[in-house]
Amino acid sequence: MSLVEQQFSPLHKRFVSYNKIGKKLSIEKTQVKNMNEDFSEIIAAVKKFAVDNLSLSTLSDEELEEQIKTITDNMIGNRYVSIKNRVDIAQQVFSSIRGFGLLDTIMNDDTITEVMINGADNIFIEQAGRVKRLDESFESQRKLEDIIQRIVGKAGREVNQSNPIVDTRLPDGSRVNVVLPPIALCGPTVTIRKFSKTPMTIEKLISYGSITREIADKLKLLVEAKYNIFICGGTGSGKTTFLNALSNYIPKDERVITIEDSAELQIKGVDNLVSLETRNANASGAGAVTIRDLIKSSLRMRPERIVVGEVRGGEALDMLQAMNTGHDGSLSTGHANSTQDMLSRLETMVLQGADGLPLEAIRQQISSAIDIIIHLSRLRDHSRKTMEITEVLGFENGQIKLNPLYVFEEDENTTLEKVSGSLKRTSNPMQNVFKLQLSGITEVI
């Protein structure tokens, strides 16, 4: 028996039952002397007491929190423990019973942008663009699996040995990817891209140095004039963040349909907004709803704009066809290391959706659908920058013709450790100005 259990054993015996659900737990006050300073033992003792003595299935979250606070105060007794530590103990006990345990503590840290869990004992986080390992670990692999089931269940999805990979989200909107054994050899693997509590805006991108005010004003005109814009970049380059900021330039009186694997876009101010999310197949392999399904369905929902969170496969063909059939002003993102690379990847993705389609026809489709490509990158100092804004001119001599408008250039202050520079306007005039003129915009891009 541990020291804490020995000290709290009399308290357990003198537990006085509560009258009915919703009333505070009545506990005979006991002063505990020589309390162990290891709060993890106190947390374990409070949790055990709560699990053994409370009717967890009938208590609401608020009632359970209140009971846990009472148990914590009584177990601590007259021993001095700061209010903050008392609150932390109660919160951790509640999280371990109803929440996500250790994960709640990590997610409550606003400085953490990404969480990577490689089994119960290996937890990594990203802070300020750098990845580091945490000293903490989950109680066991079983506990981690229980938390995973809780996360997936809240979003109405399921993950098991027959369906070991799932994309889902936390209640706050954070994007979650789960891979279970035996696919994941190191144990249950969870990757979480945290959801910003405040929507990303162009003003924030300007303050971060990703773009300038002048370029932001130009992008605003392009969005308002319904140019089809595609944002590309590598992993962690800020594609979704940029898309989110750009989408807030959409006029507030338009009907917008957003389509995502896991809903994370934060478009504010648009009343006529429909957010659609994919669904994985169930254990029997039925019931899947894909990006392709949602794009096709959205075309029958009278959209003025379609925003696709990310294209990865055959849905690229449906997205391009939507852009080519009167749904101008559409926005989307994709993984690529350069603008030219994005075009090649789009060709490959379209072929996944329409095997046998001539390459020339695919390139014509891409060139007529996409007006502007914005390329983002995560640089050597871990900063995220807009590297290029390019106009797609059309299809000529078997190739898609590009017209770079802005290109990132490093300046004399740049070093190996710190990148310094900005987007510079090229000497190339913008040629596809028809949509600007149609919108009554005479300003030169």
Q: Check: CB of residue 327 under 8 Å from CB of residue 299.
A: yes
Three-class DSSP category at 400 = strand
Whether residue 182 is preceded by a cis peptide bond, meaning omega within 30 degrees of 0, is yes
Q: Where are the alpha helices (DSSP H) in 108-167?
A: 141-154
How far apart (Å, rounded) are the C-alpha atoms in residues 190 and 118?
Answer: 7
Instruction: Determine contact, residues 334/346, Cβ cutoff 8 Å.
Output: yes
Q: 73-125, pLDDT tens digit by residue?
A: 888 877 788 888 888 888 888 877 777 878 888 888 888 989 999 999 999 99
What string of DSSP letters covers 207-260?
A: HHTSS-HHHHHHHHHHHHTT--EEEEESTTS-HHHHHHHHHTTS-TTS-EEEEE
* C-alpha torsion sign, points 132, 134, 135, 139: negative
Q: What is the pTM (predicted TM-score) of this model? A: 0.74
* Residues of the chain scoring pLDDT < 70: 1-38, 283
**What value, to the nearest 5°, has the Cα angle with vertex 293 and ends 289 and 295?**
130
Give pLDDT, residue 287.
Answer: 82
Residues whose CB falls within 8 Å of the CB of residue 22, separated by 6 or more in sequence, listed in order = 63
State residue 57's pLDDT score. Answer: 74
Residue 162 bridge partners (DSSP): none
Total length of the chain: 445
- For residue 312, count other CB atoms closer than 10 A to its CB: 13
Instruction: Return the pLDDT at 16.
Output: 36
Three-class SS state of 203: helix
pLDDT value of position 20: 35
The predicted-structure confidence for 128-162, as pLDDT tens digits, reads as follows 878 999 998 888 899 899 899 989 988 878 888 88
**DSSP tag of 379:** -
Token readout for 414 is: 């740049």
pLDDT of residue 126: 92
